[in-house]
C-alpha cells in the first residue's frame, strides 16, 4: 500500500475512534455528584477516569440515544455509498504511474504538473512555463487547477495517481450528493440509498471516463451537491444552510469544466426562481439567504475568475458549434435508456460519435419511476416538481445548443464567450440527478402504498407472510447491476506498454540547461513523460493558445516520422523516434549586432535566472511569453523590460546575472478575496438570525 493509502487508513481509524468516544460520552453521563471532564461540550468517560483515578458512577441517557441512533443510521448509509464507490473505482486506487485513463485524461493531466513546483519555489507556481512559451497558471478552465481538494490530492499522491484519485472522488461525491437530495425530500432509507448508488454508477458519470473526462464527472458531481443544497435552503431558509450552499457553489465553480459552470448558470439558476417566488410572483424572504450564498460563492471562486478574466482577451481557441457536435434536444432523453456501445460510436440520432460526451445511461426503471412520480407527488410539492422539470428542460435545451444560439442572436456580445462552448453535449449529464431524484421520490411514494401480502400455508397450520414490496427491492438491485454491466469497461485503466519507453526516451532527450523541446504532436504519452522529467514543451497541443503569438522555436524536435538522415538538423535515432537538433534556437541569448550569444539559464515556473557574458552591449531575449506581472533585476538592481512578445531587457557588456520573476497582482488579489469569502462564511455561520416570532391576530400576548 502507498504512503497516501496508509495516511487515509490512519485518518479513518482516528475519526472512527473519535466518533465512538463521542457517542460513549453522550450516552453514559456521570451522576450529578460525580466529577466530569468535557471536550467540545461532550463528556469524556476515559479522560474523567484518567484524571480522577477512580471509577465514575454513570447513568444511561435515553434522550441522547435518539440523536445517536440517527447519526449511526446516517453513518451506515454513507458507508454503503462510499464503499460502493470505492469498489467501482478500485482500479483507480492502485499506486501505479504506468496505468492511465484514455484520451482527455492524458491531455488534462499535463496541466497538473505545474503544482509540483509549489514545494520547490513557492510563488513561482503562479506561472506555468511548461507549454508553448508559458502562461499564467489559472488559464485552463477545463481542469480544476484552483480547487483546494484537487491540489491536495496532487501534492500528496503525485500528478498521475492524484488525478486518478480524482475520478474516485467524483464517484463518492456524486453518491453523497444524490443522498443529500433524498434527505432534503425526506425520502425513506431504500429510495435514498438506491438513488445514491445509481448516481455513483450512472452513465452520466462513469460514461465520461470512456473519453478520460474525469474533470467533467467531478464537476457534474460538484454541481449536483450545489443543487441539493439550493433545494435545502429553499425549504428551510436557514442561514447556516446558506453558508454551506455558498461554500459548495464556490468550490463547484473551481471544479473545472466551464461547460458545467455554464450549465448551472443558464440551466439551473433560472429555474430556481420557481423556489424564490411566491404565488403572487413576489420574492420570498429566503431570497436574502440566497444572496448571501451567492456572495460567498463569488468570493471563494475569485482566486480563479480574477486571473482568468484578466488574461481572457489574450486567449485564442477554436470557436463555433458544428452541426455534428451536438444532438437535437428531442433525441437526448433516449441516451438515458440506450445501452448499446456501437450506437454511441455512430452518428445515429444526430449525435457526435464520441461516447464519452453523450452516454447518460441509467436504464428504464428510474426513468419510468420519474414519470410515475408526476401522478403520486402531492400538490403541496408541485413547486419542487416544477423546479425539477424546468431545470431538466433548460439543461437539455442548453446541451443541444438551442439556448446558446438563441442567446447569441439576442445578445451578439455574448458570442465571444458562448461560442467557446463547442461541445455543449457535456452539459446534458446535469439533468440526470434531477431525474434520479424524481425516481427515488416516486419509489418512496410507491413503497408507502398498501401492498398485498403473499401468504404461504405451511404444515401444522403455520403460515408465512411475504410482503410483495421486497420484489421491488430485487428489481432495484437489478437496475443498479444493469447499469454497472454497461459501464464497467470504462472503470478499467490502460497500462502503458513496456515497448513505448516514453520515460526512457525522455531521459535521453533531456537537454542540458533550459531549452524548448518539440514532442511528437498529439502523442500524450511523450507529453506526460517529458513534463514529468521537467522538459519544456513547444509546438505542443493545448486547449488554448495565445492570441497573435507563436510558440517559441524548438531547440530539439522529436518525431515518429521518417526523416532524411542527410538533413543537417538530424541528430540521432532513439528507439523508434528520430531526433532533430536546432542549435541556434537558444532559450536565452544576447543579440549583439545580429549575432546571438547564448546564455546559461535555469527556470522553475515564474523564477528564471539567466547568466550572460558579452563583450559589447546588446538585448537579452528569453524565449518565454511576456505578460503583465513579470519583472527583472540586473545584478540585484531593478531594470525595465523591453516591450516584446518575449521577455527582453537591455544587456550591458560584461558578465551579468538577470533574475526574472513573475509576481502578478491578479492571483494574490483573487486569493485575498477567496480568504475574505471564507471569513464571510465563518461570520455568517456564527451570526444566524433569530427566528422572528409570529404575531397573533389579536395582538401580542
Q: What are phi and psi of 622, to 5 degrees?
A: -115, 125
Residue with cell 486571473: 307
Q: What are phi and psi of 400, to 5 degrees?
A: -95, 5
Over range 118-132, report the average pLDDT. Answer: 91
pLDDT tens, residue by residue, 240-254: 999 999 999 999 999
pLDDT tens, residue by residue, 53-76: 556 666 656 566 666 677 788 888
Over range 110-116, report the average pLDDT. Answer: 91
Is residue 5 predicted with pLDDT exceeding 60?
Answer: no
Is residue 26 predicted with pLDDT exceeding 90?
Answer: no
Helix H, strand E, coil C: the string for 462-505 is CEEEEECHHHHHHHHHHHHHHHHHHHHHHHCCEECCHHHCHHHH
* pLDDT level of residue 152 (50, 70, 90 thresholds): very high
Over range 148-176, report the average pLDDT. Answer: 94
pLDDT tens, residue by residue, 70-101: 778 888 899 999 999 999 999 999 888 899 99
DSSP state at residue 595:
E
Q: Residue 20 corresponds to which cell in the numbers above?
A: 465512538
Is residue 371 predicted with pLDDT exceeding 60?
Answer: yes
Rounded Cα gap, residues 130 and 197, in angstroms: 40
DSSP state at residue 264:
I
Calculated CA dihedral for residues 662, 663, 668, 670, nearest 10 degrees = -40
3-class SS shares of the chain: helix, strand, coil, % to 5: 55, 15, 30
* pLDDT level of residue 303 (50, 70, 90 thresholds): very high
Q: In 3D, which of 456, 442, 402, 455 has the Cα closest to residue 425?
A: 402
Which pLDDT does position 25 carry in this prediction?
59
Min mean pLDDT across 135-144, 205-214, 497-506, 553-562 is at 135-144
* pLDDT level of residue 263 (50, 70, 90 thresholds): very high
Distances (CA, A) of 64 to 23, 26, 27, 78: 9, 6, 6, 21
Percent of the chain with pLDDT over 90: 65
Which pLDDT does position 119 carry in this prediction?
86
Please enumerate in sequence order all residues whose Cβ is within 8 A of that of 694, keeping only pairs 6 or more positions apart, or say none: none
Which pLDDT does position 422 carry in this prediction?
83
Over range 438-454, report the average pLDDT. Answer: 84
Q: Are strands 618-625 and 38-39 parallel, antiparallel or unpaired?
A: unpaired
Partners of 595 in beta bridges: 592
Please enumerate in sequence order all residues whose Cβ is within 8 A of that of 25, keeping only pairs 6 or more positions apart, or say none: 39, 42, 43, 44, 45
Rounded Cα gap, residues 482 and 241, in angstroms: 36
Is residue 544 predicted with pLDDT exceeding 60?
Answer: yes
Q: How far, in whole angstroms, is CA 595 from its chain's centroid?
A: 49
* pLDDT level of residue 392 (50, 70, 90 thresholds): very high
Q: How many CB atoms lie within 10 A of CB 473?
A: 13
DSSP state at residue 121:
H
* pTM, to two decimals: 0.88
What is the overall mean pLDDT for the chain? 88
Three-class SS state of 518: strand
Min mean pLDDT across 43-57, 87-101, 340-354 is at 43-57
Instruction: Evaluate whether 78 touches 67 at the Cβ level (below 8 Å).
Output: no
Which pLDDT does position 29 carry in this prediction?
61
552 or 33, which is more confident: 552
Over range 364-374, report the average pLDDT. Answer: 93
Over range 150-174, report the average pLDDT. Answer: 94
Over range 198-204, report the average pLDDT. Answer: 96
User: Considering just the CA atoms, what is the radius of gyration of the chain in Å?
Assistant: 30
Over range 460-475, report the average pLDDT. Answer: 71
Percent of the chain with pLDDT over 70: 86
Which pLDDT does position 695 carry in this prediction?
43
Rounded Cα gap, residues 126 and 321, in angstroms: 32
* pLDDT level of residue 141 (50, 70, 90 thresholds): confident
Is residue 442 predicted with pLDDT exceeding 70?
Answer: yes
Rounded Cα gap, residues 253 and 556, in angstroms: 39
Is residue 698 predicted with pLDDT exceeding 50?
Answer: no
Is residue 177 predicted with pLDDT exceeding 80?
Answer: yes
Q: Which class for 599: exposed (0-12), middle (13-18), buried (19 or more C-beta within 10 A)?
A: buried
Residue with cell 432509507: 189
Which pLDDT does position 700 carry in this prediction?
39
Over range 480-509, report the average pLDDT. Answer: 93
Amino acid at each position: 500500500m502507498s504512503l497516501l493509502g496508509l495516511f487515509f487508513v490512519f485518518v479513518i481509524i482516528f475519526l472512527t475512534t473519535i466518533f465512538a468516544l463521542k457517542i460513549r460520552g453522550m450516552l453514559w453521563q456521570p451522576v450529578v455528584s460525580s466529577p466530569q471532564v468535557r471536550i467540545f461540550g461532550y463528556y469524556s468517560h476515559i479522560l474523567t477516569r484518567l484524571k480522577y483515578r477512580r471509577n465514575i458512577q454513570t447513568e444511561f441517557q435515553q434522550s441522547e440515544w435518539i440523536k445517536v441512533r440517527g447519526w449511526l443510521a446516517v453513518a451506515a448509509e454513507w458507508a454503503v455509498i462510499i464503499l460502493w464507490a470505492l469498489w467501482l473505482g478500485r482500479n483507480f486506487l492502485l499506486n501505479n504511474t504506468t496505468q492511465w485513463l484514455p484520451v482527455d485524461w492524458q491531455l488534462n493531466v499535463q496541466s497538473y504538473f505545474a503544482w509540483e513546483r509549489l514545494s520547490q519555489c513557492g510563488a513561482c507556481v503562479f506561472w506555468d512555463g511548461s507549454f508553448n512559451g508559458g502562461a499564467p497558471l489559472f488559464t485552463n478552465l477545463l481542469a480544476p487547477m484552483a480547487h483546494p481538494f484537487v491540489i491536495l490530492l496532487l501534492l500528496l499522491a503525485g500528478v498521475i495517481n492524484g488525478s486518478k484519485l480524482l475520478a474516485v472522488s467524483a464517484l463518492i461525491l456524486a453518491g453523497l450528493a444524490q443522498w443529500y437530495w433524498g434527505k432534503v425530500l425526506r425520502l425513506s432509507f431504500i429510495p435514498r440509498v438506491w438513488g445514491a448508488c445509481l448516481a455513483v454508477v450512472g452513465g452520466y458519470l462513469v460514461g465520461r471516463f470512456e473519453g478520460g473526462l474525469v474533470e467533467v464527472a467531478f464537476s457534474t458531481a460538484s454541481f449536483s451537491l450545489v443543487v441539493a443544497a439550493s433545494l435545502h435552503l429553499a425549504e428551510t431558509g436557514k442561514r447556516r444552510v446558506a453558508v454551506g450552499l455558498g461554500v459548495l457553489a464556490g468550490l463547484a465553480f473551481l471544479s473545472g469544466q466551464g461547460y458545467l459552470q455554464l450549465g448551472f448558470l443558464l440551466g439551473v439558476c433560472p429555474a430556481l426562481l420557481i423556489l424564490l417566488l411566491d404565488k403572487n410572483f413576489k420574492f420570498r424572504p429566503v431570497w436574502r439567504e440566497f444572496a448571501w450564498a451567492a456572495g460567498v460563492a463569488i468570493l471563494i471562486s475569485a482566486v480563479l475568475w480574477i486571473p482568468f478574466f484578466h488574461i481572457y482577451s489574450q486567449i485564442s481557441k477554436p470557436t463555433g458549434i458544428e452541426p455534428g457536435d451536438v444532438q437535437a434536444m428531442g433525441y437526448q432523453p433516449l441516451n438515458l435508456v440506450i445501452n448499446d456501445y456501437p450506437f454511441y460510436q455512430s452518428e445515429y440520432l444526430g449525435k457526435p460519435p464520441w461516447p464519452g460526451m453523450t452516454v447518460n445511461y441509467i436504464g428504464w426503471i428510474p426513468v419510468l419511476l420519474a414519470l410515475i412520480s408526476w401522478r403520486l407527488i402531492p400538490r403541496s410539492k408541485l413547486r419542487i416538481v416544477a423546479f425539477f422539470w424546468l431545470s431538466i428542460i433548460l439543461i437539455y435545451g442548453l446541451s443541444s445548443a438551442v439556448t446558446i444560439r438563441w442567446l447569441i442572436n439576442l445578445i451578439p456580445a455574448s458570442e465571444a464567450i458562448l461560442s467557446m462552448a463547442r461541445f455543449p453535449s457535456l452539459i446534458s449529464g446535469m439533468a440526470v440527478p434531477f431525474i434520479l431524484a424524481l425516481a427515488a421520490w416516486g419509489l418512496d411514494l410507491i413503497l408507502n402504498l398498501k401492498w398485498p401480502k403473499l401468504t404461504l400455508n405451511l404444515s401444522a397450520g403455520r403460515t408465512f407472510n411475504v410482503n410483495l414490496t421486497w420484489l421491488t427491492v430485487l428489481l432495484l438491485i437489478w437496475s443498479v447491476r444493469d447499469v454497472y454491466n454497461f459501464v464497467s469497461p470504462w472503470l478499467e485503466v490502460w497500462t502503458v506498454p513496456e515497448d513505448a519507453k516514453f520515460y526512457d526516451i525522455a531521459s535521453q532527450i533531456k537537454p542540458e540547461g533550459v531549452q524548448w523541446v518539440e514532442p511528437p504532436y498529439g502523442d500524450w504519452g511523450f507529453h506526460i513523460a517529458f513534463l514529468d522529467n521537467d522538459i519544456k514543451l513547444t509546438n505542443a497541443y493545448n486547449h488554448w493558445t495565445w492570441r497573435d503569438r507563436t510558440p517559441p522555436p524548438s531547440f530539439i524536435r522529436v518525431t515518429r516520422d521518417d526523416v532524411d538522415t542527410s538533413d543537417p538538423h538530424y541528430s540521432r535515432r532513439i528507439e523508434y523516434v528520430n531526433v532533430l537538433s536546432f542549435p541556434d534556437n537558444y532559450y536565452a541569448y544576447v543579440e549583439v549586432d545580429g549575432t546571438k550569444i547564448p546564455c546559461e539559464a535555469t527556470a522553475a515556473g515564474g523564477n528564471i535566472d539567466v547568466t550572460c557574458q558579452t563583450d559589447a552591449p546588446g538585448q537579452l531575449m528569453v524565449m518565454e511569453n511576456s505578460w503583465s506581472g513579470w519583472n527583472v533585476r540586473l545584478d540585484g538592481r531593478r531594470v525595465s523590460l523591453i516591450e516584446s512578445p518575449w521577455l527582453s531587457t537591455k544587456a550591458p557588456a560584461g558578465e551579468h546575472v538577470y533574475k526574472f520573476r513573475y509576481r502578478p497582482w491578479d492571483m494574490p488579489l483573487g486569493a485575498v478575496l477567496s480568504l475574505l469569502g471564507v471569513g464571510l462564511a465563518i461570520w455568517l455561520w456564527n451570526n444566524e438570525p433569530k427566528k422572528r416570532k409570529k404575531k397573533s391576530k389579536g395582538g401580542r400576548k
